[in-house]
Structure 1
Amino acid sequence: MRSAPANGFPFTAVVGMADLQLALVLAAVSPAIGGVLIRGEKGTAKSTAVRALTEILPPVDVVAGCRFSCDPAHPDATCPDGPHDSLNAVVRAARLVELPVGATEDRVLGSLHLERALAEGVTAYEPGLLAAAHRGLLYVDEVNLLHDHLVDVLLDAAAMGRATVERDGVSVTHPARFVLVGTMNPEEGELRPQLLDRFGLTVDVVASRDPAVRVEVMRARLAYEADPVAFVSRYDAAQRELAERIVKAQNLLSEVILTDAALRQIAEICAAFDVDGMRADLVTARTAVAHAAWSGRTVVEVDDVRAAAKLALPHRKRRNPFDAPGLDEDQLEQAINDSMPPEDPDDDPDPDGGPDGGESPDDSASEPSRADDRADADPADRAANGAPDDQADRPDAPGSALAGQVAGSSEPYKARLLSVQSTGSGVAGRRSRAITDVGRVVGARARVGRESGRPHLLATIRTAAPHQHSRGRSGPGLAVRPDDVRLAVREGREGNLVLFCVDASGSMGTKKRMGEVKTAIVSLLLDAYQRRDTVGLVTFAGATATVALPPTGSVETAVRCLETLPTGGRTPLAEGLLQAADVLRIAAIRDPRRRPLLVLVTDGRATHGESAFSRAKLVAARFGHQGIASVVVDCEPRRGVRLGLAAELAADLGAEYLDLGEVAAGNLVRAVTERRAA
């Protein structure tokens, strides 16, 4: 926990972030909105703006000595530190509480004071970060790297205004109303759509490309660093004015009227953007009310609805996890216009044109159809699959029009689970078995120093019980020492590094076949996204292998990279495996806890260099001796004579072998059934 530093950068001095400042202010006016998620590239002052917000939040009256910051005017009847004397009050500044990425659930929610519980026989509760953040600001930097179950806990508390702890003999509930702010860099991975939806507002922050704005940013920052006191004093008046305006808006909030017309407009706008559920409508309504109060109005107007929709809808209109968040403002304006009653009911829209007088639907649809016809007539698609492999694999061979072409993927499907078979101890995720902080209890271990974690009560009692006589204990309870405490060992799931090593050579067959391969990989990438993995991409074609994407948490970047991947040329299979081994070696140094899973996507052919396939088999065998978990996805066409080279590689790698058609979960079930029947 920390407070904003003295002489912190003023909120009103932040340059070029009007949308971010508005979102933070509206969340401060009405915490019921549900918090703010700030997405942006590195170095865009996201953290600076968040920390500066506490300087303009009004001070709070709290009950003296209450660890839960109860309001003396309205003390919480269920407060664990109650009952309270309303006259025993103090005033303190608004508090900023930072939640570290590595925080445990005990640290967030609070936990049982184990030593007191065993030694004194009392249920003593140690408050967590949610209690400290009550009536203040809870800031989570890199929220996309936080464990999903912790994000769920935070968002539940932010939505309910209370935190509830029911475990280890503790049954505590306490108020937890705070402004939740999360920042993240999308390059490090996205939040799951379910968690994105739980944030009330979202803002995308991008550094301005206007040189004049960038100069102003540099000038302000350098002036602040040269003399913080003098710089802050220049903004004293603006800071006070903004703080007073926030207080006025908070007081006016309960008087703002949300008319039936405004409610209908909000509903029609949310329906126009095809958002799921009703949370978008509710958040937009609360934000519109807050914006009206912020503007000094007592009735919600169209401008309030427009501002609310720009902040509440961008992250909710995503239909696919790989869709880029954002809001088409032209579509928003059209939805607003469509939701407003016509000024003249006798005016009918032009039946011969669209709303903007553009082309008719038939005209706009004709071009894709002609494009599809041209794609069907592609020479590569017309080439016979039975063409000799040494000819199809040559970039200059007749009929080898694949060289340099880009095949697109189709709609992804549910992929089967690929996992590392042994039990690891890596980062919490959803793929392979591992010893993690969350999961079923499978044992106990000694605590290291003052290490935090959920205690194993029975193991702790068993450890302390034999020493009671030597410790002079004769009455009720146990004499427990810190080295008696045992922590629960839990088995859950971990996230892995899934490295795709993809054959992009001409031997992969027709453009249609490569499209099927890309669809399978995109489906596996979608599965990696849902299981909280990091991913990497190595491709090989021609004479070399390339690291198309180093290991990253951004699965979206991997999908974009794959979609633009050209195909053609010879097949340097051994080079691809050697490049993959090098990527995994470096990744193990950078993140030793994250176990790798290699997914080799190939038809098994190797045509670059002398004795190409034999060399590839030697490299594969060397790979297999390292014990790295791997899967070979065989892309050899089912029609014609199958050489079975990919299956040989799988045996050398010690890898799981899958046909391309078995990547889909449903197809795998069918394949297993057919094999059993045979």
Structure 2
Amino acid sequence: MAYSESVRAAGDEAGFPFSAVVGQERLQLALILCAVHPGIGGVLVRGEKGTAKSTVVRALAQLLPPVVDESGARPARLVELPVGATEDRVVGSLDLERVLRDGEQAFKPGLLAAAHHGVLYVDEVNLLHDHLVDVLLDAAAMGRVHIERDGVSHTHPARFVLVGTMNPEEGELRPQLLDRFGLTVDVVASRDVDVRMAVVRRRLDYEADPGAFATRYAAADREVAERILTARDRLAGVNLDNVELRRIAALCASFDVDGMRADLVVARTATAHAAWRGATAVTEADVRVAAELALPHRRRRDPFDEPGISEDQLDDAMRQAAEQAARAEEDDSLGKGEAVPPNNGAGPQDPADGSAEDHAPNPDDANSPATGQDSSASGPDAPDRLDSDLPDRGADFPGGDRNPPGDARANTSDRGDRDPSGDRPARERPVAAPTATLPKPPRWEVPGVGEGAPGRRSRARTRQGRVVRATDDTSTGLHLLGTIFAAAPHQHERGRLTGPLAFTPDDLRGAYREGREGNLVVFVVDTSGSMAARDRLSAVTNAVVALLRDAYQRRDKVAVITMRGQAAELVLPPTSSVDIAVRRLTDLRTGGKTPLAQGLLKARDLIRRERTRDPHRRPLLVLLTDGRATGGADPVPRALTAARLLANDAVTSMVVDCERGMIRLGLARDVAAELRGGYLQLGELTGESVADAVRATRAA
């Protein structure tokens, strides 16, 4: 099948054309570079809803080169990995039909095999089970899948472009998993009226006649597809000399990224970008584009750190890297005996700066006619744009001088909302978290076995967890050994002498799987006058930040209730985006009396509403207070009564006593006793003390 035929076959499905997407040039470039060099490791697309994330990814599959396998040539596939998929469905498993029918051991490939030489797309990847994320990222890095399970040993190639999309409002991806994605792109809807008009107009035209709309952009898509194929063929011949390699290493070192994966990804991306623009050597412009795509998310070490690199930061890092490369080149020249300055009697020159066997070549050599590289390609106006690549874009795209996918500069369509500092859009401006040393994140879980949303806190019966035993319920998959053991005693009475086992429907056994769930963690924080002392409030805030970080890592939903004056206030409704909670903590108002009863009752009402909305997500109440109930009539009896109501509702709780001083009343301990939950003092907020306290908590 010719390449153009492959594209045309995909276009017959009348999907939205890749070339027709408006305002997402950076995302398009990142996907193109991964298509040119799949070894980059894929793209993570972060952005608000309604920004064409899924549309662009699905359109990419139509541009990939055809796949040649044992059945001949076929178009590359876009394989979607559902959030609720099982591990067997992803990596493959024993072919039970052939085992039970023919008595043969056979392997049934999974989604990773189907995505070979195509695109594996995971929508809402931040909601995917952690063990599935690890499996697919390992496969993307290794290019193969190896299975050792159920008596089956099997390996097969799985080279694909991994693309994940996510809405940060629904929870972040763990930092260690962020690093496994080669590139990351943050997408936002343009605030430019003309751009928004163009987006709506093209979508309406597509919905009116998908076939005609796809035909309109077929030539532009075909041109991009052919350039991807050409860039793939050119990739092996692109030269990455030591000058640019030193620049890459200096950039990664200046941003203090962990490990060496960043250096490799930047090098591969820069090489792919050079191949994409038709060059034979990597230049500074290629390195800058690669750094913009590969480094921002790798700077994030804490769940609440803001990802991203400002243009000023990148400019400074590029300048420092250039100076370091120049110094190294000068040292190399000195080491080769070229233009050696007089020693002035200072003794022999120190050769420790480098060996003459591995010096960066002269930059002039990289631009010499022998390399076929035009010297103008290294400047800011290097031919790395897509203006001419998508012919229709200039005609229909309002303000056709906007930076296209290949531009080394950032997309300017969303710069209208930048704050006065110019570093980030105002709506994304980071809010400073407490800077004091945070306590060790606690470890606790809700007693019993739940059936809630996937997470990492409490034990739960799940569809994707490890198999614990066989059960009569087959809804979570077949338990092969359990089924065989159930059928084995009946083979004689069923007349079996030789051949496959004889089974009946009554023999089927399901797999009881146990994993981990995320919980609803409700923080009730005392911000009254008795807590308003600066050191105490700072300690409480730090404790809540540590607990929120733990909730983030364990995939909990969180809510925050504050108590001050005469009422309790829900400052953060239940959400999976716990970094918002940290931001809210920086603007807490303090003072007044302590309406402890109102705070507990508001938490009870909230938990009851959430149980109706999501009955499987079990709650956990965390109360931070000194126990002094002073708000309202009969404050102390009312507070203890409210605590008993929560205990009767089987709410697992933890009380963190924030009382300080030589004389302590121990009121928070009385509240914990009524809640029948765990108790510890603020100064004891360590992982071990929390675990001990929870072990003493009654089982709910």
TM range (shorter): 0.7 to 0.9
- Aligned pair 1:62/2:85, yes or no? no
The CA distance in 2 between the partners of 1:161 and 1:545, in whole Å, is 54
* Change over 3 Å in CA distance of 1:257–1:485 after alignment to 2: farther
TM-score (norm 1): 0.82
Q: Letter of the aligned partner of 1:661 in structure 2?
A: G
- Aligned pair 1:581/2:581, yes or no? no
1:423 alignment counterpart: 449
The CA distance in 1 between the partners of 2:435 and 2:659, in whole Å, is 18
1:284 Cα deviation after fit: 0.5
The CA distance in 2 between the partners of 1:475 and 1:444, in whole Å, is 27
- Aligned pair 1:200/2:182, yes or no? yes
Q: 1:642 aligns with which of 657, 660, 664?
A: 664
1:43 alignment counterpart: 50
Instruction: Point out the more displaced range, 278-287 or 607-616.
Output: 607-616
Instruction: Point out the more displaced range, 109-118 or 434-443.
Output: 434-443
Contact in 2 for aligned 1:4/1:54 (Cα 8 Å): no
2:3 alignment counterpart: none
Question: 1:566-604 CA distances to partner (integer Å, 9 max, x unpaired)?
Answer: 222222111111211122122222222221111111111
2:268 alignment counterpart: 286
- Aligned pair 1:436/2:462, yes or no? yes
**Count of residues in Structure 1 that have an aligned counterpart in Structure 2:** 583
| Aligned-residue RMSD, C-alpha | 2.4
The CA distance in 1 between the partners of 2:598 and 2:298, in whole Å, is 43
Q: 2:631 aligns with which of 605, 608, 611?
A: 608
2:570 alignment counterpart: 547
TM-score (norm 2): 0.80
The CA distance in 2 between the partners of 1:343 and 1:302, in whole Å, is 11
Q: 1:244 aligns with which of 210, 226, 246?
A: 226
1:452 Cα deviation after fit: 5.4
1:342 Cα deviation after fit: 8.0
The CA distance in 2 between the partners of 1:230 and 1:162, in whole Å, is 40
Q: 2:592 aligns with which of 569, 581, 588?
A: 569
The CA distance in 2 between the partners of 1:21 and 1:124, in whole Å, is 40
1:462 alignment counterpart: 485
The CA distance in 2 between the partners of 1:60 and 1:108, in whole Å, is 21
Q: Letter of the aligned partner of 1:124 in structure 2?
A: A
The CA distance in 1 between the partners of 2:662 and 2:476, in whole Å, is 61
- Aligned pair 1:660/2:676, yes or no? no
Q: How does 1:473-552 map to 2 (within 5 A)?
A: 473-481=496-504, 483-552=506-575
* Change over 3 Å in CA distance of 1:609–1:447 after alignment to 2: closer
Q: 1:160 aligns with which of 138, 142, 147?
A: 142
1:369 alignment counterpart: none
Contact in 2 for aligned 1:409/1:516 (Cα 8 Å): no
Contact in 2 for aligned 1:115/1:481 (Cα 8 Å): no
* Change over 3 Å in CA distance of 1:46–1:267 after alignment to 2: same
Contact in 2 for aligned 1:4/1:52 (Cα 8 Å): no
Contact in 2 for aligned 1:96/1:138 (Cα 8 Å): yes
1:147 alignment counterpart: 129
Q: How does 1:34-183 map to 2 (within 5 A)?
A: 34-64=41-71, 89=72, 91-183=73-165
1:241 Cα deviation after fit: 1.0
Question: 1:372-430 CA distances to partner (integer Å, 9 max, x unpaired)?
Answer: xxxxxxxxxxxxxxxxxxxxxxxxxxxxxxxxxx9945232322212212222323322
1:394 alignment counterpart: none
Contact in 2 for aligned 1:415/1:664 (Cα 8 Å): yes
Question: 1:268-313 CA distances to partner (integer Å, 9 max, x unpaired)?
Answer: 0000000000000000000000000001001000010000000000
* Change over 3 Å in CA distance of 1:482–1:253 after alignment to 2: farther
Contact in 2 for aligned 1:115/1:480 (Cα 8 Å): no
For residue 105 of structure 2, give the secondary structure of its aligned residue in structure 1: coil
For residue 308 of structure 2, give the secondary structure of its aligned residue in structure 1: coil
For residue 39 of structure 1, give the secondary structure of its aligned residue in structure 2: strand
Contact in 1 for aligned 2:81/2:123 (Cα 8 Å): yes
1:146 Cα deviation after fit: 0.1
Contact in 1 for aligned 2:548/2:582 (Cα 8 Å): yes
Contact in 2 for aligned 1:285/1:305 (Cα 8 Å): yes
For residue 340 of structure 1, give the secondary structure of its aligned residue in structure 2: helix
For residue 671 of structure 2, give the secondary structure of its aligned residue in structure 1: helix
The CA distance in 2 between the partners of 1:324 and 1:220, in whole Å, is 34
* Change over 3 Å in CA distance of 1:452–1:133 after alignment to 2: farther
Q: Letter of the aligned partner of 2:686 in structure 1?
A: A
The CA distance in 2 between the partners of 1:452 and 1:629, in whole Å, is 28
- Aligned pair 1:232/2:214, yes or no? yes
The CA distance in 1 between the partners of 2:454 and 2:495, in whole Å, is 43
* Change over 3 Å in CA distance of 1:16–1:327 after alignment to 2: same
1:667 Cα deviation after fit: 6.6
Instruction: Point out the more displaced range, 496-505 or 35-44.
Output: 496-505
* Change over 3 Å in CA distance of 1:557–1:481 after alignment to 2: farther
The CA distance in 1 between the partners of 2:82 and 2:232, in whole Å, is 30
Contact in 2 for aligned 1:414/1:527 (Cα 8 Å): no
The CA distance in 1 between the partners of 2:135 and 2:89, in whole Å, is 12
Contact in 1 for aligned 2:471/2:509 (Cα 8 Å): yes
Q: 1:213 aligns with which of 180, 186, 195?
A: 195
Q: Letter of the aligned partner of 1:296 in structure 2?
A: G
Q: Letter of the aligned partner of 1:26 in structure 2?
A: L
Unmatched 5+ residue regions in structure 2?
1-9, 331-431, 695-700
1:326 Cα deviation after fit: 0.7
The CA distance in 1 between the partners of 2:649 and 2:692, in whole Å, is 33
Contact in 1 for aligned 2:185/2:293 (Cα 8 Å): yes
For residue 679 of structure 2, give the secondary structure of its aligned residue in structure 1: strand
Q: Letter of the aligned partner of 2:233 in structure 1?
A: N
1:482 Cα deviation after fit: 5.0
The CA distance in 2 between the partners of 1:519 and 1:623, in whole Å, is 26
1:20 alignment counterpart: 27
The CA distance in 1 between the partners of 2:692 and 2:644, in whole Å, is 31
* Change over 3 Å in CA distance of 1:558–1:476 after alignment to 2: same
- Aligned pair 1:560/2:583, yes or no? yes
Q: Letter of the aligned partner of 2:440 in structure 1?
A: K
The CA distance in 1 between the partners of 2:141 and 2:325, in whole Å, is 39
* Change over 3 Å in CA distance of 1:631–1:671 after alignment to 2: closer
1:414 alignment counterpart: 440
Instruction: Point out the more displaced range, 137-146 or 654-663.
Output: 654-663
The CA distance in 2 between the partners of 1:582 and 1:219, in whole Å, is 46
